[in-house]
Amino acid sequence: MKNNKLVMIPGPTPTVRSITDQMGRETVAFGDPAFVRDFKELVINLKTLLKADGECFVVAGSGTLAMEMAVSNVTKRGDNILIVSNGFFGDRFIDICERKGLNVDLLQAAWGEVISPEEIESKLKEKHYAAITVTHVDTSTGAGAPIQEIGKIMRNYPDTIYIVDGVAATAGEREYVDDYGIDILFTGSQKAFGVAPGLLILWAGKKALERRKSIGTIPEYYVDFEKWIPIMNDPAKYFATPAVNMIWALKESVRLINEEGAEARYDRHTKVSEAINKSLEAIGFKLLANEKDRCSTLSVVLYPEGINDLEFRTKLAEEGVMAAGALAAYAGKAFRVGHMGNIDDHTVYSTIAAIERTLIKLGYEYEKGIGLKTLLENI
């Protein structure tokens, strides 16, 4: 008999029944008064959840589209932009910005490390930047940037828009938009919100909205704030067809977050992350990210000598857990495991147990049961 498979990659993350039930509802017209009311309520609740004044955009699309939306609305060809990258997905901003005709400067951390606020401030002193992008959590490394500390620095540069990529962090790591001085924050539905892929969520503060107005017409169409603001303020209006069932699913996700309590949710992510990491280290694995820089939503796990990546992940899948391969130079040398969203203790224990069973079947010598024992002591 085959084991049920837990999806423990860094996204899409597992969806709970009440969320999948919303995705399975009979679709209605996007102008249906009840749906319009639900959409409006969702937008308001998302602003409250992240302590964000300004606008919140919920749009059909991916996290990558959100990256483009963020950059497109606050920069124009010839502007300077500073990209702060902690890994593979931070680097993706380079291509997006160069295609936009921006002058790109790059602060690039070694994988597993992050760029310090001091390094960023030193770079900001060199010239005027229209915007700066910071990836809060990069799923290629498991490292998390100190976005609150960076935000304090950004208050000294009021003409620079502070963009935070929260795709692998929002709803799992603390990100309070106005409190942290963030001008644009964005994420995707499939990560810590625990919804299926399909929606981008972007918060734009007043400074970002003013910048958009000052630019005038932009060449981009679908991602233009000005096209979407009327719809977010009154979803009865039409610009492009909303993903009706995904809106319902995200609304249910926000309800679950509020039911748990945002602060309690962030604390849970921290506790689970630390427990999983200690369990993996007790077994004999190492983590790519420096301990002080580790995020709470995923781990990039380095193999000990003698473990073949493909063999390990294939056998792990047979044991009931789907993990992701590592990227770029770490491909074949590590695996990635997500622990964000609506996962419960049962899922965490099952994941560590499956890893232990896999190692036993591969003939890896270690203290059997140490992973589960460590988890019991820390979760």
Binding-site residue positions = 336
Residues in binding site for substrate: 336
2, two tokens: 């085959």
Q: How far apart are CA 217 and CA 239, in angstroms?
A: 17
Q: How far apart are CA 137 and CA 19, in angstroms?
A: 24
Which residue, among 357, 288, 290, 293, has the nearest Cα to 321 in the 3D structure? 357
Residue 171's identity, in one-letter code, is A
